[in-house]
Amino acid sequence: MVRLLPNFFMTSRRQKFLVVTLLLLSVLLTLLIRDFTKTPEPTYQGKTVSQLFAEFRAARTNYQHSGHVSYVDPVSKKLVRATTKFDDTDAWLRGPAAIGLRALGTNALPFLEGELQRRDGGWVRGYRAFYQKLPPSLRTRAPVPSAGRDSIRADAAIALAALGTNAQSAVPMILEIIRTERFFGMAWGLTQGLQKMPYESAAFDPLLRDYCARSDLDGAVYLVERFKLLDLEAAMTLTNALLSPKIRLKQNVFAELTRFAQYGAIVVPALVAVLTSGNAPDAADAANVLRKLHTQAEHAVPALVNALTNRSDEVRYGAVSALEAFGTNSLAALPALITATNDSSVMVRSAALRALDKLDLAKPISN
């Protein structure tokens, strides 16, 4: 190439003209071949899928409202309260552009999946990762990284939700993006879109295992909670989180476990372990969950009986309330319930009497 350049400048004007003309013709021919061989985009009422997606994105501001959000800054670890805009996704998915995408059905899948998969270049992603690690004092001075294609990809995930059952094949792709990429500007769009697609709980199992392997139990609990997962892997995830000293979302774990009665063989032993752990607030919460799982928690009766001697009024009340919910299945707790009718707490005494009443034994011992 170096030797050709001097020859080019030494040629005549006519020869130069011919060379340039040939180059331009070759470029034009390449473009024509590409246009002729390119698969035409599917259309709905005269609009292509790319046009409908552009209209869908542009309409976003029509379906937003302002609100407050609180979050923990990953660097300073401080609680931050900010005003932001939230999308009314349900209304957005009822808009004209969403209706057009839905009408295209599976014909819109290749384009939207392509938009979802296409990432920014390495420099953009690298700067985002660098920016997130900066100390707060430096981050306020550094340029805020551009959302880049992440905002487009997030909108593509929501647009896929417009396809209904036709978008089910895109679920594994979105889950893989969640597993392998740092969200930055995609978290809201990915979760909103995925929530509104048809999916099975089992589809999340590899992602849950990956989160647990990385000791991100809070992230795993968030997935179970947000997507209402209800399978064996989700049950194991919650029980592992419940027994971990690192979990921060323990209250969320207790709340979610009430949905897992069918996995009582896994859930109940974990709750019993917490009930006997010596931590009064957690023990009270565990007793409350056992009360709600009463049909599957009969094996917890001995632990609940022991909890009736706990120094915490809250724990004793939680234990006796659980035994009350067990009904005749708490017959083995009869002596402890009779003793509890003399408890120092009025609430414990009342609950013990109700529990005995369910055993038809309250009348002989009550005044």
Helices (H), 11-108: 13-37, 49-58, 89-92, 96-104
Q: Which pLDDT belongs to residue 204?
A: 95
Share of the chain above pLDDT 90, in %: 59
Report, in angstroms and rounded to the nearest whole number, the Rg of the chain calculated over CA atoms. Answer: 31
Q: Which pLDDT belongs to residue 325?
A: 93
**Does position 27 have pLDDT exceeding 70, yes or no?**
no
**Is residue 56 within 8 Å of 101, Cβ to Cβ?**
yes
CA distance 220 to 230: 13
Q: Which of 320, 315, 334 is nearest to 274 (CA)?
A: 315
247 vs 362 pLDDT, higher one: 247
Surface-to-core class of residue 97, CB atoms within 10 Å of its CB (0-12 exposed, 13-18 middle, 19+ buried): buried
**Does position 48 have pLDDT exceeding 50, yes or no?**
yes
Q: What is the DSSP letter of 48?
A: E
Q: Which pLDDT belongs to residue 278?
A: 83
**Does position 138 have pLDDT exceeding 90, yes or no?**
no
pLDDT band, residue 23 (cuts 50/70/90)? confident
Q: Which pLDDT belongs to residue 73?
A: 64
What are the tens digits of pLDDT across the range 144-153? Answer: 877 678 889 9
Neighbours of 85 (CB within 10 A): 11
Query: What average pLDDT does the chain have?
Result: 85
Q: Which pLDDT belongs to residue 122?
A: 74
Q: Which pLDDT belongs to residue 366?
A: 44
* Side chain identity at residue 309, one-letter code: T
Q: Which pLDDT belongs to residue 77?
A: 63
CATH architecture assigned to 262-367: Alpha Horseshoe (1.25)
**Does position 80 have pLDDT exceeding 80, yes or no?**
no
**Is residue 181 within 8 Å of 187, Cβ to Cβ?**
no
Q: Which pLDDT belongs to residue 364?
A: 47
What are the tens digits of pLDDT across the range 99-125? Answer: 999 999 999 999 999 999 998 777 777
| Tokens, residue 245 | 């000293």
187 vs 360 pLDDT, higher one: 187
**Does position 22 have pLDDT exceeding 50, yes or no?**
yes
Q: Once rounded to an integer, what is the mean pLDDT over residues 79-87?
A: 75
pLDDT band, residue 183 (cuts 50/70/90)? low
Q: What is the DSSP letter of 266?
A: H
**Is residue 212 within 8 Å of 181, Cβ to Cβ?**
no
What are the tens digits of pLDDT across the range 307-358? Answer: 999 999 999 999 999 999 999 899 999 999 999 999 999 999 999 999 999 8
CA distance 353 to 317: 12
Q: Once rounded to an integer, what is the mean pLDDT over residues 241-254?
A: 93
